[in-house]
Chain A
């Protein structure tokens, strides 16, 4: 089998005495959408934060196309083609669409020492991108992000990752708080990102959304990857739920009868 795009090996992360990740192994292939599932506290967010450079790992290795990399900061990860879209923190609401698209990568006009941004270039690229993502109607690129809907904001964030040619786009709860139509829009957007050559990690609490879009499901429990080759076409939602909770059918029924989840 070919070397995957991303391989994370024996990743450990502890916060003081709390082990958030214990020897987690995880990989993403080229042009693949991976659904990352797990209960609260299973270690999904920590794994993603390690991969996006937001938190340092305690031990373990990360390989990109077989080459070992060290991701010490978010800018390191971005330089390696890993773009993360956080639910609440992807965009700066008070700034315009164009400025958000270039957040952290603002083009500079010559002479460079004056540090002036090339606003015309930013607006032109933004106008084209908005057209491509289908939210161009009546929205100039100078509109503040705050006046867009949740789905439109996700679209802008994904468009940013695609424009800068990221190899891996990590989506943290992209369908949270979205209506049905907007959710479908975002899901089809994720598919088209894959079809144009990008890989994605898709995290969502709503398992049905995950099933609709991903090629492979990975489940985490208590800091470990407990299943990493679930085919959504051959597996039922109920089975995946059982893997997530780590409980048998009987245990789940008992837990519901007791009114509280057992451990």
Chain B
């Protein structure tokens, strides 16, 4: 059969405006915020922005930053994973116990990452089976995983013997004297995941599911599979962060990583990833996490009591949410329609 597939011009579209506006990248806000924070730090104490301190800022950002990279994918899919911090802790505990039991540290690390991916798989399967938002499912699994961590770790710090001398301790080292290895892992993975989100079919389908789940399903995209894979990715990133923490610190203590899930969500939102799904920025999340760590450093420099850190982090989440909302409302008003928001 021959089909010519031509059509007359569509009436009503001829007189549209060329309407090409300059679009600022989604990361602009976070980049400006980072510059401002570094400026503030330098003004408070010039030595806080020297190479050594900047690289330690990167090191602090690296572990919650790995979770933020995974979280960008989850948020782009219009979901949220509250259990990521607990997954981080359980995988580190799991890997530490394996090393204590005599397993090769590198194998234990692989097992830890696999355990993280497995926990993500459980989250994903629950989301599919119960047809519930990941927010609700992970609210439950968060507590379950946290409880499990306490049970297997007996609520104590686990420091595998000889962790300092083991190969995993490479992670606590510094390349070229000053750049922390964890920071390098973080930056390299961020660049790789940026490509995955914006250049691969998987990343594109994550965004399609987040933007309009029904359209994605009607177009034949296996939305369930995309959801599960994204939560597996999130779990694997948390697991990776967990074993890196174990390698770099040589121990995992109760309470480690307790704020990581919220930090990751906050960093992603500061970095321009929208809570309403459909798009995300890995690079933005990296900058967002650096902003967060810079704010925490600034609070220390200003002599603010450490107990205010939690309050400040919470306030930042509210601020980031407010900005996200305002940007969305503004975009919809500019586009002359708000229906996508209502359908939310």
**A4→B211 CA distance, assembly (Å):** 37
**A78→B217 CA distance, assembly (Å):** 11
Chain A proximity of B3: nearest CB distance (Å): 5
Contacting residue for A94 out of B20, B207, B219, CB 8 A? B207
Interface residues of B in 244-263 (CB under 8 A from A): none
**A145→B13 CA distance, assembly (Å):** 14
Interface flag for A9 (CB, 8 Å): no
Q: Is the beta-carbon distance between A196 and B10 smaller than 8 angstroms?
A: no
Chain B, Cβ-Cβ closest to A160: B219
Q: Contacts of B11 on A, CB cut-off 8 Å?
A: 151, 181-182, 184-185, 188
Contacting residue for A74 out of B199, B212, B219, CB 8 A? B219
Q: Mark A110-135, 1 if CB is under 8 A from B, else 0.
A: 00001111010000000000001111
Interface flag for A179 (CB, 8 Å): yes
Q: Contacts of A91 on B, CB cut-off 8 Å?
A: 212, 215
Contacting residue for A95 out of B16, B207, B335, CB 8 A? B207
Interface flag for B222 (CB, 8 Å): yes
Given A74-B218, A151-B12, are A93 and B6 neighbors across the interface (CB < 8 Å)?
no
Chain A, Cβ-Cβ closest to B76: A94
Contacting residue for A75 out of B5, B207, B220, CB 8 A? B220
**A187→B127 CA distance, assembly (Å):** 41
Q: Is the beta-carbon distance between A115 and B278 smaller than 8 angstroms?
A: no
Q: Is the beta-carbon distance between A197 and B3 smaller than 8 angstroms?
A: yes
**A116→B32 CA distance, assembly (Å):** 31
Q: Mark B1-21, 1 if CB is under 8 A from A, else 0.
A: 111111111111110101110
Interface flag for B200 (CB, 8 Å): yes
**A89→B1 CA distance, assembly (Å):** 30
Chain B proximity of A135: nearest CB distance (Å): 5
Interface flag for B281 (CB, 8 Å): no
Q: Mark A28-47, 1 if CB is under 8 A from B, else 0.
A: 00000000000000000000
Q: Kindly specify which of A19-27, A100-108, A204-212 makes contact with the partner chain.
A: A100-108
Q: Is the beta-carbon distance between A103 and B1 smaller than 8 angstroms?
A: no
Q: Is the beta-carbon distance between B212 and A92 smaller than 8 angstroms?
A: yes
Q: Contacts of B14 on A, CB cut-off 8 Å?
A: 134, 137
Q: Contacts of B278 on A, CB cut-off 8 Å?
A: 92-95
Interface flag for B343 (CB, 8 Å): yes
Chain A proximity of B154: nearest CB distance (Å): 42
Q: Contacts of B205 on A, CB cut-off 8 Å?
A: 106
Chain B, Cβ-Cβ closest to A179: B12
**A189→B9 CA distance, assembly (Å):** 9
**A192→B6 CA distance, assembly (Å):** 7
Q: Is the beta-carbon distance between B10 and A155 smaller than 8 angstroms?
A: yes
Q: Mark A170-206, 1 if CB is under 8 A from B, else 0.
A: 0000000001011011101100110011100000000
A116-B201, A138-B19, A185-B12 are known; give 7 further A-B pairs, CB within 8 A.
A74-B218, A91-B212, A93-B211, A93-B212, A106-B205, A135-B9, A188-B11
29 A-B pairs within 8 Å (CB atoms) are namely A73-B220, A74-B218, A74-B220, A75-B222, A84-B218, A86-B214, A94-B279, A95-B207, A103-B208, A104-B221, A106-B201, A106-B204, A114-B200, A117-B200, A132-B6, A134-B8, A134-B13, A135-B9, A135-B10, A137-B13, A147-B19, A147-B335, A149-B13, A151-B11, A185-B12, A188-B11, A189-B7, A189-B10, A198-B3
